[in-house]
Amino acid sequence: MFKILVELFFLAIIQAAITPFIRRLAFVLGAVDNPNIRRVNKKPMPTIGGLGIFVTFTVGVFILFRQQFPTHEIFSILLASTIIVLTGMIDDILELKPRQKMLGILLGALVIYFLAGIRMTEINVPWSSQTMQLGILSLPVTIFWILALTNAVNLIDGLDGLATGVSMISLGTMGLVAYYFIPNGQIYVPIACLMLAACLLGFLPYNFHPAQIFLGDTGALFIGFMISVFSLKGLKNITMISTIIPIVILGVPITDTVYAMLRRKLSGKPVSQADKHHLHHQLMALGLTHRQAVLVIYAISMIFSFFSMLLLVAPTWGMVPLGIALLIGLELFVETIGLLGSNRQPVLHLVKRIITHQHQDPKVEVWHLGQEKPDQLKTKEERKKENDQA
């Protein structure tokens, strides 16, 4: 294990060393992110930072950790990830349309399903030993899983170091969970998760605010794609609640994606239409600085990661209240920052009504000293006196 830790540290150093060269290459290729209404950067920034992560990860696979990986699977995964990286690079340089990017991700997903043989064939029913066989639904479910997670990571890549840090936390958690709960024959899954996390660790100093280089779609798509593949390969074999674990670990990008889709649908806008109301945008609108918003989301990601590990050790009877508490807390947080919109806060409004609700006796009225006493509270003598004076 010590040897693996040393090699992971060395991988982070390689990543830190190669990133300045990727930064120069981005300017040469024209992969530059110019400021616009949806961007927070105030000057042109080089992208395709993910290319360096892809190169470093590949070096780790074929040089440092070659003995840990099965040949057929790793070459298939390399082919699929190459398709993803090329799609991201083309988008960073030429700006592809959303459907064109989806096509590239779809091709990579098909390689994973048919060539690598990594697929979702069954779903474990929570709190039971039963499994539901997917049958002919295996292909669409696997494709949807890969598309959803890949795009989820891409959507949160809106602030310096945000997607990098959140993905690093998620991958680190996946690596720990996979190491302790998957069969020994699949030890390469936790190693691969920790390898990619190490690459992100080496990249983060260049990407954290103020960033010197962005991940770009090259990096965001590659990271999201690899996370989806790792979760399919390893985490699906953990326990009876294994279908929940990857979703909880990736709680931040999945939550942001789901609420973005709901927000656009409720506003009558296309689901694929970009906006500036994501989680990080809303936190900054509340007055947080760039770094503070990123650190808050890091903390939220750690909470999700801790909760995912808690699910694996908690007794069955404790999972339901834990899950309900997490969902209620998440909904309150989302409504507080206005992720769905300032006028869409059903739970907050319900809480306010419960707290402020007071039962008042309709017969009792209060008046302040110096004001005229209400008629219904005057005595007969007082009313008679007023009539006589009139």
- Counted residue by residue, the chain has a size of 390
Supply the pLDDT for residue 196. 95
Supply the pLDDT for residue 386. 73
Q: Which two tokens stand for residue 127?
A: 């709190």
- pTM recorded for the entire structure: 0.82
Which positions ≥6 away from 10 have C-beta within 8 Å? 64
Supply the pLDDT for residue 110. 96
C-alpha–C-alpha distance, residues 4 and 88, integer Å: 30
Determine which helix (DSSP H) or strand (DSSP E) holds 132, and give its type and residue range: strand 131-133
Supply the pLDDT for residue 202. 96
- Dihedral sign for Cα 284, 287, 291, 294, please: negative
- Dihedral sign for Cα 102, 107, 108, 114, please: positive
Which positions ≥6 away from 47 have C-beta within 8 Å? 26, 31, 32, 33, 92, 213, 214, 215, 216, 217, 218
Judging by beta carbons within 10 Å of its beta carbon (0-12, 13-18, 19+), is residue 30 exposed, middle or buried? exposed
C-alpha–C-alpha distance, residues 310 and 302, integer Å: 12
Phi, psi dihedrals of residue 32, rounded to the nearest 5°:
-125, 135
Residue-by-residue pLDDT tens, the chain, 390 positions: 778 889 999 999 999 999 999 999 999 998 888 766 555 556 788 999 999 999 999 999 999 888 888 888 899 999 999 999 999 999 999 888 889 999 999 999 999 999 999 888 877 665 566 777 888 888 998 999 999 889 888 888 888 899 999 999 999 998 888 887 765 556 788 899 999 999 999 999 999 988 899 999 999 999 999 999 988 886 554 444 456 777 788 788 888 888 878 887 777 777 666 667 778 778 888 888 889 989 988 998 898 888 888 877 777 667 778 778 888 888 888 888 777 766 777 777 777 777 766 544 555 555 555 566 666 666 677 777 777 776
Supply the pLDDT for residue 316. 67
Supply the pLDDT for residue 37. 57
Instruction: Read off the amino acid at residue 307.
Output: F
C-alpha–C-alpha distance, residues 5 and 360, integer Å: 67
